Amino acid sequence: MNSDFKYHISRRDLLVAGAGLAVSASLPPARASTVDERSIKIAPGQTRLGGSDRPSTAVWAYNSAVPGPKLRLRQGRSVRITVENGLDEDTTVHWHGIRLPNAMDGVPGLTQPPIKPGETFVYEFTPPDAGTFWYHPHTDSLVQLGRGLAGPLIVDEAEPVLVDRDLLWLLQDWRLAADGQIAGGFGGAMDASMSGRVGNAVTINGRAPADLGVRTGERVRLRLVNAALARMMALRFEGHRPIVVAIDGQPCDPHEPENGRLLLAPAMRIDIALDMQGDPGSRHAVIDDFYGGLAYTLTNLAYDKVSPLRAHPLDASVGLPRNPLPEPDLANAMHHEIVLQGGMMGGGKLAGVGGMPGMGMPGMNGGAAWAINGMSMTGDGHAGMAPQFTLERGASCHLTMRNETAWWHPMHVHGFSLSVLSRNGAPVPHRQWQDTVLMAPKDVIECAFVADNPGDWMLHCHVADHQMAGLMTVFRVK
């Protein structure tokens, strides 16, 4: 018999064992101990985006950190998160991508009253899906996100996935003035009706990127989160072959991205498996070349000079276990269509935006520059927004999204994950589920989901300026 055995029996085990079944039956239900507790305080703070030797920048922060603390939850295990608002303005927290009860979704006016300065709100939910998610405000979104409020949220698989390291890059994009402070002028008409507030400084986990030290032979799971207001990214890992294993938290068939480029629009997440096959001592650039002519090196993979961790890549599969997503019934699905309209057209003309008679200067002072099916819902999605369409609970919905504008839009749906069926008529190959679908100008996307979660849910572009200026709507599941 194992001589260590006795050390593994706790006093409580002995008590229960000694008293027999009657006692275990009368024990209080285990439920109370299965809720994780977290707390988040939101307040103004300071951070050194450029590194410890650089001047600090005034930001708004979750628990004094930019990005906010990495929340690590367990699939199927409840969490209670107490949020305290130490700002001078209302806020809410939205748990982006988590399929949770509507009342926990964090949309002010629509799913909860805003959290007033000095007040707290308790969010409670049980994440059904493992994967990479994030959290951010849904109140004064452009300014609050732009001042730094964003944090990563990881839901761990029930069974750990075999990798050597699990890393996360939360990418933020800042528009900094010469003095290193966040530039004002949020919500200007140019940003609103064009590409949104693209900044001039990209950070990884709140810092100007330094090289990432890696070791030959190791396998890294790298979770990429684009938490920028507007900056689209297309990442290339020179000399490497990243394998996409999940998109927006949802596992997909493992595959190499087209042309080795990972298209990562605001609010999207991509998990990659990266086998480090460079030579010890070598250095490889990670390049973002989304905007033609404006490519830059985001960071470098810097190999240790030590001997390889292993001679051959790990031969375990990189695939992740599927999440329990309901499969839509396409034969009996309700069809709905979302048409994106507005924005600046060629020649500096603003496209007509329907439903706004007598509109003077679109996009100015919180006015509408965009519309969905002729309606512009501006701001953060407050009360009084009539649902664009209503679905019976349990029905399958086949949704067509049509981008009639000249701009890119990462379209995000709350409360659900969309099974992406096709893009411009061509089937999408890797069985991907997404909560944020990037649409190129003129793209047409077909997707589907099961309306299994009742409530009023937002559907909007995640370029914060576009959302604020009308590229947003709501649908109802009853």
CB of 30 to ligand C2O, least distance (A): 33
Which one among 42, 414, 447, 475 touches Cu ion, defined by CB under 5 A? 414
**Which position has the token pair 């997440």?**
269
Beta-carbon contacts of 300 under 8 Å, excluding residues fewer than 6 positions away, are 211, 212, 283, 284, 285, 286
DSSP helix/strand/coil, 442: coil
**Binding site partner of 267, from Cu ion, ligand C2O, none, Cβ cut-off 5-8 A by kind:** ligand C2O
Six token digits for residue 68: 């906010």
Buried-exposed string 68-107: b where 16+ CB fall within 10 A, e elsewhere: bbebebbbeeebebebbbebeebbbbbbbbbbbebebbbb
> Which listed option, ligand C2O, Cu ion, none, makes contact with residue 192 (CB within 5 to 8 Å by class)?
none
Scanning 155-163, 170-178, 440-448, 458-466 for contacts with ligand C2O by CB under 6 A, the matching segment is: 458-466
CA distances from 26 to 11, 16, 22, 30 (A): 18, 11, 7, 11
| Residue 99 vs 460, nearer CB to ligand C2O | 460
Ordered alpha helix ranges (H), 21-109: 21-26
The rounded distance, in Å, linking the Cα atoms of 182 and 184 is 6
Under the criterion CB under 6 A, does residue 298 sit at the interface with ligand C2O? no
The answer to whether the CB of 169 falls within 8 A of the CB of 225 is yes
Q: Which residue, 163 or 399, is less far from Cu ion as judged by CB?
A: 399
Query: Tokens standing for 217?
Result: 């032979």
CA distance 60 to 288: 27
Q: Which is nearer to Cu ion, 75 or 341 (CB)?
A: 341
Contact status: 99 vs ligand C2O (CB under 6 A) = no
Residue 175 as a binder of Cu ion (CB under 5 A): the answer is no
Q: Provide the pairing of β-strand 212-214 with 296-303.
A: parallel
Q: Which residue from 147, 175, 398, 409 is in contact with Cu ion, where contact means CB under 5 A?
A: 409
Q: Which is nearer to ligand C2O, 111 or 341 (CB)?
A: 111
Q: Residue 460 interacts with ligand C2O (CB under 6 A)?
A: yes
In whole angstroms, the minimum distance from the beta carbon of 138 to ligand C2O comes to 6
The nearer residue to Cu ion, 275 or 435, going by C-beta atoms, is 435
Nearer to ligand C2O, 221 or 462 (CB): 462
Q: ω into residue 321 within 30 of 0, thus cis?
A: no
Give the position of tokens 């000694």. 18
Q: How far apart are CA 142 and CA 343, in angstroms?
A: 17
Residue nearest to ligand C2O (CB): 96
Binding of ligand C2O at residue 286 (CB under 6 A)? Answer: no
Q: How far apart are CA 383 and CA 108, in angstroms?
A: 8
Q: Is 138 in the site for Cu ion (CB under 5 A)?
A: no
User: How many residues at the interface with ligand C2O, by CB under 6 A?
Assistant: 10
- The position carrying tokens 């507790």 is 37
Per-residue x/- track, 90-119, Cu ion (CB under 5 A) = ------x-----------------------
Residue 467: DSSP 8-state: H
Beta-ladder partners of 434: 418
DSSP state for residue 365 in the 8-state scheme: T
Is residue 341 within 8 A of residue 374, CB to CB? The reply is: yes
**Residue 458 β-bridge partners:** 474
Judged by beta carbon, residue 409 or residue 412, the one nearer ligand C2O is 412
Residue 284 contact among Cu ion, ligand C2O, none, beta carbon within 5 to 8 Å by kind: none
- Site membership for ligand C2O, residue 437 (CB under 6 A): no
Q: Which two tokens stand for residue 285?
A: 């650039």
List 66, 121, 137, 138, residue binding ligand C2O (CB under 6 A): 138
Q: Which is nearer to ligand C2O, 136 or 231 (CB)?
A: 136
> Is 153 a binder of ligand C2O (CB under 6 A)?
no
Scanning 209-217, 344-352, 367-375, 454-462 for contacts with ligand C2O by CB under 6 A, the matching segment is 454-462
| Per CB under 6 A, 149 contacts ligand C2O | no
Site for Cu ion in 444-473 (CB under 5 A): 461, 463, 466
Instruction: Give 222 or 469: the residue with its C-beta nearer to Cu ion.
Output: 469
Return the number of the residue (223 or 460) whose C-beta is nearest ligand C2O: 460
Site for Cu ion in 308-367 (CB under 5 A): none
Number of CB atoms found within 10 A of residue 300's CB: 19
Q: Are 247 and 275 in contact (CB under 8 A)?
A: no
* 145 sits near Cu ion (criterion: CB under 5 A): no
> Is there a contact between 242 and 255 (Cβ–Cβ < 8 Å)?
no
Give the residue, chosen from 142, 220, 265, 458, that forms a contact with ligand C2O under the rule CB under 6 A: 458
Q: Rounded distance, CA 340 to CA 99, Å?
A: 25
228: contact with ligand C2O by CB under 6 A? no
Stretch that binds Cu ion, among 289-297, 351-359, 377-385, 414-422 (CB under 5 A): 414-422
∠ CA 40-43-48 to the nearest 5 degrees? 105
Q: In DSSP terms, which residues pair with 120 in a beta bridge?
A: 84
Place of tokens 């001039």: 200
Residue with Cβ nearer ligand C2O (403 or 467) = 467
Residues at the contact surface with Cu ion, assessed by CB under 5 A:
96, 409, 414, 461, 463, 466
Residues at the contact surface with ligand C2O, assessed by CB under 6 A:
94, 96, 136, 138, 267, 412, 414, 458, 460, 462
